[in-house]
Each structure stands twice: as structure tokens, then as C-alpha cells.
A = this chain, B = another copy of it.
Amino acid sequence: MSKLPGTKLSRRQLLQLGVTATAATLIAGGTEFVLPPEAHALGDPLPSWNDGPAKKAILDFIHVTTDKSSPKFVPPEQRIATFDQDGTLWVEHPMYSQVVYCFDRVPAVVKAKPQLANVEPFKTVLTGNREAIAKLPMDGLMKILVVTLTGMSVDAFEAQANDWLGAARDPRWKKLYTELTYQPMLEVLKHMRSSGYKTYIVTGGGQDFVRMYAERVYGIPPEQVVGTAAGTSFGYDKSGKPFLTKDPKLLLNDNNAGKPEGIHLMIGRQPFVAFGNSTGDRQMLDYTKAGSGERLAMLVLHDDAQREYAYGPAQGLPDTRVGTFTQALYNEAESKGWIVISIKSDWKRIFAFES
């Protein structure tokens, strides 16, 4: 980066770069401040989006809430944006990645507790028969979640999850699951942050699981991941070293009404922005829109069978275990001013690994 002629930055532009208010005043007030020309290669902050109402809604919202002269200006400390994960930030079909993780952990669990081998649902999971596994009843699924996600130390869980995240590949694209994130949404996250919004994940997925990769993959630090959370117990090992054990005690079921409840517990402010993709996000969107001033609520519709997946009753397609987008939700979006994102028509490309 050389000393080519650049552009002076105003205090507001500095704030948008993430400079604190005090620093921005000092910087903008005291110097001929120059941004090098490279920085202007920014251009369109949402290059993977086609022009259309969805892209326009995002850009307009950011403009009116960050422009100090706008009546809809939102002070930086109040700029909270919440994002569902499965089906909103990454692929959820045909099965939530974390559920795949739990199934993949079953052999190791059974090896440690051989008496489980002939007990359902473990017996079915060990067959590897995908169709039979997909039909397991909900209480069977819960048993698998409990034995694969709790009963070990936080450190042991993190090591196990980390190994899987670095190795397991999805059956369709043969990519690491963390590569199945939506490029258009990564651009939204980045643009929100560069506009002073604090981005949060608010997911039905396990909080500890998502925190393993959220910073690296989404740029979202662990403390900004709100998810379904179980309790832990603090204790000391024989050498006196403290550790936390993951308990099978549900503290927060971060779905449906649990989403605004989780936002209150973990953030304590009503969001200005919420993105989701299913009926499980309805309450979060309602809670977001109920705040005063300009608020943005958006829903991703999976309508692209060729490039990703198409599913959900809103399109006359069969309901699946994941991400239910009902006709009622679609109607609700229209009546409440939630904006529907069509993957097929709004997203120019879906994954970073495409061309």
C-alpha cells in the first residue's frame, strides 16, 4: 500500500469503518486523513445479489439507519442484527449439519458404552441406512443428541467437534460443511458490520457447536452466537484444574418463542434486523418488527432445486423435517412487510466455491 493520492474520510465514514466515536473525532478533527485508492475497490457491497426488491431493501435499510441526517438514523450502540443459521446462512437440507455430526459420533459413543449397540435408536444409526435413520422418531433423535453432545467436558466436546468440522463432507457437493455457507449472506453480514451493525447468530442449533466455527466462517465471535443451550457444571479435576462439564439440562430451546427469549437473555436489546427462513423464525421477526423506527425482517425461500434445494409447503412441495416455510408464513410475510428472498432469482451465486 503506497502513498498514492486518496480521499479524505469524514467522521461518519470513520465510524462506519469501525472506529470508535472518540477515535473518529480525534482522527477526523486533527488530520488531513486520507484513505488509499485501493479501499475504493469496494464498489457494490453485495456483488452476489441480483438487483431486485430484496437487495434494494437491504441497501435502503442500511442507508436510512446509518445516515445521521435521516429521521430513521439508529445510534451505533443500538445496531443489532440477528441471523438464523440453518437454511439462512448455510445449507440445511437434507439434514441439519449438527444432526449429521451427532449421527457420525454414535459409533464412538457405542464403542465406549457397548451396551447401547442393541438399543434403539443407536442400533438403527449403526446400520448406516440413511432412509431408516431419517425416519427415526423425535424422542430417538433427542437420545442421540443427549449422548453425543453432553456428558463430556467442554474441552473434550470442542476437540471432537473440531475434528469432525475439519474432515466431514456433505454428500452432494463433497465439501466441508463450513464451505456450504451462502456467499450472498456472507456479504450481508460483512456489509452490516461495516455499517456499524453488531451481527449475531440466533439459531436453533447448539450454541457450543456453532461457536466452534462462527468466527472463522462468518466473522461472528463466540459471544455473538445465541443458540439452543444446555447447562454446564463447573468443577475441579484431581490436580485441582477447573473444568466445565456439559450437562443434559436444557436452558434455552432457541426456536420459535425461544428466539426472542434467547435474544433477551443473551443480548438484552431488541434487534433492528432479523433474517430467517422458516416458521421457527416467526417470533424473532415479530419481535424485531415490533420495535420503533425502521426495522428489517427477511426470509430466505429455498426455491432453487438446481443450484441448491427447493422445499417447503409454500411452494406446494412436501414438508420436510428441516426449515418449514409454510403458505401461512408466506402470507404473513406479505401482510407484515417481511421481505422474501428467492434464492433462484435474488442470488447470482450461492457458494464461494462456485467459479
A67 interface residue (CB < 8 Å to B):
no
**A3 proximity list for chain B (CB < 8 A):** 30-31
Query: Residue A77 at the B interface, CB < 8 A?
Result: yes
Residues A1-45 near B (CB distance < 8 A): 1-4, 6, 14, 17-20, 22-23, 25-27, 29-36, 38-39
Q: Decide yes or no whether A279 CB sits under 8 A from chain B.
A: no
Report A291 CB to chain B, min CB distance, Å: 10
The chain B residue with its CB closest to the CB of A36 is: B30
A-B contact pairs, 27 of them (CB 8 A): A1-B25, A1-B30, A17-B23, A18-B22, A27-B33, A30-B35, A30-B38, A77-B215, A77-B221, A211-B268, A221-B269, A222-B267, A222-B268, A222-B269, A232-B261, A234-B261, A234-B283, A234-B287, A241-B290, A242-B260, A242-B286, A242-B287, A244-B260, A244-B261, A244-B264, A251-B252, A251-B265
Q: A283-B242, A287-B242 are in contact. Are A268 and B223 (CB under 8 A)?
A: yes
A4 partner residues in chain B, CB cutoff 8 A: 30
B225 touches A268 (CB 8 A): yes
Contacts of A261 in B (CB 8 A): 231-234, 244
Interface membership of A147, Cβ < 8 A: no
In the complex, the chain B residue whose C-beta lies closest to that of A9 is: B27
A154 in contact (CB, < 8 A):
yes
Q: Which of A25, A208, A266, A290 is the most central at the interface, judged by chain B CB atoms within 10 Å of its CB?
A: A266
Interface residues of A in 174-202 (CB under 8 A from B): 198
Assembly CA distance A197 to B262 (angstroms): 25
Residues of B within 8 A of A31 (CB): 3, 6, 33-36
Residues in B with CB closer than 8 Å to A198 are 223
Question: CB < 8 Å: which of B18, B26, B208, B215 contacts A20?
Answer: B18
Which residues of chain B come closer than 8 Å to A274, judged between CB atoms? none
- In the docked arrangement, what's the CA distance between A265 and B1, Å? 42
Additional 19 contacts, C-beta under 8 A, given A223-B268, A234-B283: A1-B29, A2-B30, A6-B30, A17-B26, A18-B18, A18-B20, A30-B39, A31-B33, A32-B32, A77-B215, A80-B223, A154-B264, A198-B223, A221-B269, A222-B267, A222-B269, A234-B257, A234-B287, A241-B290
Q: Smallest CB–CB gap between A341 and chain B, Å?
A: 23
- Chain A: interface residue total (CB-CB under 8 A): 63
- Contact of A229 with B by CB under 8 A: yes
The 6 closest A-B pairs by CB, nearest first: A30-B36, A18-B20, A222-B268, A1-B29, A17-B23, A234-B257
**Bound state CA distance, A29 and B35, in angstroms?**
9
B30 touching A34, Cβ below 8 Å: yes
Write the residues of chain A forming the contact surface with B, with a CB cutoff of 8 angstroms.
Answer: 1-4, 6, 14, 17-20, 22-23, 25-27, 29-36, 38-39, 77, 80, 154, 198, 207-208, 211, 215, 221-223, 225, 229, 231-236, 241-242, 244, 251-252, 257-258, 260-261, 264-269, 283, 286-287, 290
What is the bound-complex CA distance between A208 and B268, given in angstroms?
8
- Expressed in whole angstroms, the Cα–Cα distance for A236 and B38 within the complex equals 50
Residues on B with C-beta less than 8 A from A269 are: 221-223
